[in-house]
Structure 1
Amino acid sequence: MRIAIVFNHPYEGSYCNAILKAVTKGLQKANHEIDLIHLDRDGFNPVMTAADLKAFKDRKPIDPKVIEYKQRLDEADHLLFIFPIWWELMPAMTKGFIDKVIFPGVAYDYTPSGNGMIPLFKNVKSVTVITTMNTPGILYRILFGNAIKKAVITGTFWKMGYKNRKWINLSMVKMASDKKRIKWLTSLENKFAKMK
């Protein structure tokens, strides 16, 4: 299976980078093909310009990176996002990726009635999102309204028609012991080593 990983964290020493390594190791054990879209290393521009909005209307992207990413995602069987939650939301590059790549004519089209969406990444069967945050999970759900679930899992991929969606969130990461962090990484490696 071909797994496209969309990764966003600028700091090499981050826990998100440790997660990326653990997930990659697990996927390699299962002999999956990995296509890493590293938004930070790619210098992806998340800003939606006036020209990009005209392209949105015309359903023809103009950003060379968006065109490249579309070609790569057309080949993917599974889409995996890894990013931190900062101030209850995703970083700007991840948001920009969703704005500019999850785009009409690239990732989806509208049904003839205009009331629904049809996914255009025909090989993608499932989407997984892995996030880290320092907020306690219960506070994130109750007090802050579960913004990632609403915006990404439901508001983007459910709306597009992907039935197999999963969100793995690691909360209170900064406060976690080294033992717990290692346990999380081992669990993720094992989980993706069993992925079929």
Structure 2
Amino acid sequence: MHVLVVLAHPLKDSFAAAIARTAVAALRDKGHHVDLLDLYAENFDPRLTAAERDSYMTGSYDLADIAPYAERLKAAEALILVFPQWWFNLPAILKGFIDRTFVPGVAFDYDDQGIKLGPKLEKLRHFWSFSTTGSPWWVVKFYMGDPVRRMLKRGIAAFCAKRVDFRMACLHNMDDTTPGKREEFLEKVRAQVGTL
């Protein structure tokens, strides 16, 4: 299986980077082809350009600046996002990656009236994420309503791929976690990607 792993953290020694390394190693051990996209290492520019926005609903989206990233996304049979949650949201670089690559003609198409979206990521069967947050689980789930999960599952995966297997695992209380809890989470990552 062709798996695109997208890492969104600026520090190479971060726990997010450790999660990505763990996922990549486990996937390769299972014989999958893994494409690791480290957004910071590749200096991905998250800013939507004027040309991109201007062409958004024209039927001919301007892919000039992001074509290689769009091709990597379209090739994926499984997509795994790895990121911390900051202010109950995605890091800006990951949001920009989504804004610039999950676009008309790549991730979806508009219907003839330009209203309804039709999924276009035909190869994508698995849309997973591994995340961390400094907040307790109950704050994320009950107080905030689990905004990142809702946005990824209902606002992106469901509109861009048919019958996609969506999963999200999050290590909460990251700021107070112990080395043992972090290792438990990495083992969870290994086990989950081992099911692909």
Shift of 1:81: 0.7
Alignment identity in percent? Answer: 25
Under a length normalisation based on structure 2, what TM-score does the superposition of the two structures give?
0.92
Q: 1:173 to 1:126 in 2, by over 3 A?
A: same
Q: Distance in 2 between matches of 1:148 and 1:166?
A: 12
Identify the residue that residue 192 of structure 1 maps to in structure 2.
Answer: 193
Q: Does the aligned pair in 1 maintain the 2:56–2:104 contact within 8 Å?
A: yes
With over 3 angstroms needed to count, the CA separation of the structure-2 counterparts of 1:63 and 1:44, relative to structure 1, is farther
Structure 2 contact 118–159 (Cα < 8 Å) conserved = no
Residue equivalent to 2:126: 126
Q: Is the 2:108–2:159 Cα contact (8 Å) retained in structure 1? A: no
Offset from partner CA, 1:58-83 (integer Å, 9 cap, x none): 3322442x210111222211111111
Mapped to 1, the partners of 2:126 and 2:15 lie a distance apart of 24
State how far apart, in whole Å, the 1-side matches of 2:195 and 2:145 are: 32
Provide closer, same or farther for how the CA distance between residues 43 and 153 of structure 1 changes in structure 2, counting only shifts above 3 A: same
Q: Gaps spanning 5+ residues in structure 2: where?
A: none
What is residue 180 of structure 1 aligned with on the other side?
Answer: 181
Instruction: Look up the match of 1:98.
Output: 98
CA distance change for structure 1 residues 36 and 76 in 2, over 3 Å: closer, same or farther? Answer: same
Which range is displaced more, 94-103 or 159-168?
Answer: 159-168
Residue 72 (structure 1) aligns with? 72
1:144 aligns with 2:144: yes
TM, length-normalised to structure 1: 0.92
Q: Report how far residue 34 of structure 1 moved.
A: 0.2
Separation in 1, partners of 2:84, 2:11: 11
Cα distance, 1:92 vs structure 2? 0.6
Aligned residue for 2:118, secondary structure, equals: strand
Q: May I ask how many residue pairs the two structures share in their alignment?
A: 194
Structure 1 unaligned residues grouped into runs of 5+: none
Q: CA deviation at 1:162?
A: 3.7
Give the counterpart letter for 1:167 in structure 2.
Answer: M
2:16 aligns to what?
Answer: 16
Please tell me the residue identity of whatever aligns with 2:24: T
The offset of 1:151, in angstroms, is 1.7
Partners of 1:175 and 1:37 in 2: CA distance: 28
Query: Relative contact order (C-alpha < 8 Å, sep 6+): which is higher?
Result: 1
Rounded to whole Å, the distance in 1 between the matches of 2:139 and 2:189 is 24
Give the distance between the partners of 2:112 and 2:57, measured in 1 at CA: 16
8 Å contact from structure 1 (residues 78, 127) kept in 2? yes
Q: Cα distance 1:35–1:149, how it changes in 2: closer, same or farther (>3 A)? A: same
Kindly indicate whether the alpha-carbon contact (under 8 Å) linking 2:10 and 2:40 is maintained by their aligned counterparts in 1.
Answer: yes
- Structure 2 residue aligned with 1:84: 84
What SS class does the counterpart of residue 55 from structure 2 fall into? helix
Per mean C-alpha deviation after superposition, the further-off stretch among 41-50 and 152-161 is 152-161
Q: RMSD over aligned Cα, in angstroms? A: 1.6
